[in-house]
Structure 1
Amino acid sequence: MAKAGNSEGGARRRPTGSGRGRAVGAGKRGPGAGDVGGAGTPSVELTAKLEPRKGPAKVPLNTRVLASTEARLTWLVNDRQSTVTNVVDVALQEFFDRCSVPPADHDGRITEQES
């Protein structure tokens, strides 16, 4: 039996763009995302969205979860118009609080509290 392949005789490849590995909601634009003010200058709303936001430092966290967990996460992100980063951060903070993990400072260091 011959191997399945393309017209050039090579192996078939999976189609790209399956959605895996992309951020949830990637490619979606909010209302007014393309609005510009008069004379070619950006509107106030657009300018406010483009200004850099200074927030707490973030670091990458890679993990694997059950497919059922990912489905629930995706549903929550879509339902609450949130981001995976925010949902995971809130969930982990609540879990750490329940487990009495001491808080970390802004540099990510935990200072052990004496009892």
Structure 2
Amino acid sequence: MAAAGGARVLAHPALDEIRLEHVLHALSDPIRLRIVRQMAVASTGLVCSYFELPVAKSTLTHHFRVLRESGVIRQIYRGTAKLSELRGADLEKLFPGLLDSVLRAADEEAARLPGA
């Protein structure tokens, strides 16, 4: 999709289109949860190549698409780079405390089970 001026724009669900079951599905995958955990501590949008994950590039693209289409992240193009950022404020507005609880539980699990 292209915006005015030729910039590429990706489709994202509007706030009222985000559904709990889609968010929970997106967060249920270990790779996607690792992505979200890394985004949660970032102070800015991250490019896909920032993430060092044990999956093929095409699989990583799929994971980012699931996160974007569920409303967990927002992706924007800056030149040729695609930046991804967590939609933390949107998720907090819709599902207060959900993301913080999931991230806290994931952090605790990672401390308890090295390699998780």
Which has more radius of gyration?
1
Which structure has more relative contact order (CA 8 Å, sep 6+)? It is 2
TM-score (norm 2): 0.26
Q: Which of the two has greater strand per residue?
A: 2
TM-score (norm 1): 0.26
Q: Which of the two has greater helix per residue?
A: 2
